[in-house]
Structure 1
Amino acid sequence: MKKLAIFLFLFLFFLPVVKADVITKSPSSTRTIVSGWNYPTRAYTSDNSRTYSSTNDAEQEYAGYGFNIPSGATIEKVEVGAEWYTTSASDETFYVKVLKGGSWYTYTLPDQTSESLYWKDVTGSGWTPEQVNNIKTRIRLYKSSEGGCYANNTYFVAQLNLTEEQARLKNQELLKLRNWTFLNPEQILDLLSSTDIWLLAWNDRERSFFLAKVRGVDVHEGNWTLYDIWSGEVNVSFRLQGRTYTITWKSHT
């Protein structure tokens, strides 16, 4: 069982002339994404009153942090903090999601068997004052004994710091991108608004690449979540030295 005591943000930022300030805020509103977190408003403050859950994939959203950072400020660092502990570290994982500029980013927090405050750096490529002022967070519990994970040989999808706009590029343009990073099917579904997008995928068991679409998640009983990944035959054309070439990606079996 995950028990969350407090959900906070720490921001360090510089104003044009003034010295650096540190601002810590707590949420003031919440809504349920996937039911399972009991008494979610208890996560507003750090005290002995806690929200708790033992439900796989339970997800709760928090907002109303009340930031009003002026447009001229420079954000130096953004961290999300939480106090929590788990009663079953071997089969439970605690995730934090952060809303930045319209996109959700997922972070895994370490297991803790005793309650303590942990800060996760989510600065990434940087934040604007507007993004900070409109920030939201979510907490999510995964229990492997009830499903909610992907097997070790599941396909991993590669993209370059994938944004929704980049995901809508044509296949030929996607193949030109560099500095690929691997994302699991769950991250892809969180990131994309459409499941009808071709992605370059990797099968870790067979050690090979192929093109596929992450269609969704199967609901079932068992130790794993099954992701629906469809791959068909795709023709990718490109020009080289004035000639047009076509590569055919066959169905993966």
Structure 2
Amino acid sequence: MNYTRLLRGAGLVAILTIVVTVIAWPDLQSTVRADDTGFASPTDVHAPIDWVNPTRGFTSNDSYTTTTIDSAMQGYSDFGFEVPTGAFILGIAVRLEAFSSDDEGCDLQVRLSWDGTTYTPLLRNANLTDSEQIHTLGGSSDDWGRDWVSSDFDDDNFVARVTNVGEDIGCLAAST
């Protein structure tokens, strides 16, 4: 039986959207404010590129990016974040819209990069079912195990990598 994990995005990976929560310390002002970037979708794919039609992950439109390979990875970048210099990054949330046709159960793992090649030590999991759902990973106080600086979110640096994995021994041979 051929199982496929499908993703579509209202944010980041045709399924993925990211929001960054920051505290800005404006010059010459006595107030401190918390702000966030709002969810942003990627506009480019980034290595690794293991999924079929990865650009379909840019928007939520019933057009899917897929994979049938366990441990297949897909990178997404160019979110257009504008984080003020000197801002303190409090948390990052990633939103995925996805489902799996594998009745054994599969997960999507997400890691974040600040330089396009090195990824956060902590990952977040979305447990998929056969019903399309929106999964929010991380949050306004989750730094993903890293002290972030504003330049980490430049389009050339910030990458969200999504990996297809199965529960226990992995997805069936042909699951996404």
Normalising by the residue count of structure 2, what TM-score does the alignment of the two structures yield?
A: 0.72
User: Which of 111, 122, 125 is matched with 1:108 structurally?
Assistant: 125
- Deviations along 1:6-39, one digit per CA (max 9) or x if unpaired, are 111111112124632221211111145253x221
User: Which of 119, 125, 131 is matched with 2:152 structurally?
Assistant: 131
User: Which of 61, 69, 75 is matched with 2:89 structurally?
Assistant: 75
User: Which of 30, 35, 41 is matched with 1:26 structurally?
Assistant: 41
2:8 and 2:97 in contact (8 A); partners too: yes
TM-fit CA distance, 1:92: 2.7
Q: 1:61 to 1:19 in 2, by over 3 A?
A: same
5+ unaligned residues in a row in structure 2: which ranges? 10-15, 26-30
Counterpart for residue 164 of structure 1: none
The number of aligned residues is: 146
User: Which of 2, 6, 9 is matched with 1:3 structurally?
Assistant: 6
Distance 1:48 1:146 in 2: 25
Letter in 2 for 1:13: V
The ranges of structure 1 where at least 4 consecutive aligned residues each deviate by more than 6 angstroms after the TM superposition are none
User: Which of 6, 10, 15 is matched with 2:24 structurally?
Assistant: 15
Q: 1:119 to 1:126 in 2, by over 3 A?
A: farther
Letter in 2 for 1:14: I
- Deviations along 1:45-104, one digit per CA (max 9) or x if unpaired, are 122222112122221111111122121212121111111011114253322221135521
- Deviations along 1:144-182, one digit per CA (max 9) or x if unpaired, are 2339xxxxxxxxxxxxxxxxxxxxxxxxxxxxxxxxxxx
TM-fit CA distance, 1:125: 4.3
| Greater percentage in strand | 1
Residue identity (%): 22
Distance 1:62 1:95 in 2: 13
Give SS of 1:130's match.
Answer: helix
| Greater percentage in helix | 1
1:89 and 1:111 in contact (8 A); partners too: no
2:106 and 2:127 in contact (8 A); partners too: no
Higher relative contact order (CA 8 A, sep 6+): 2
Normalising by the residue count of structure 1, what TM-score does the alignment of the two structures yield?
A: 0.52
1:62 and 1:137 in contact (8 A); partners too: yes
5+ unaligned residues in a row in structure 1: which ranges? 148-253
User: Which of 47, 54, 67 is matched with 2:61 structurally?
Assistant: 47
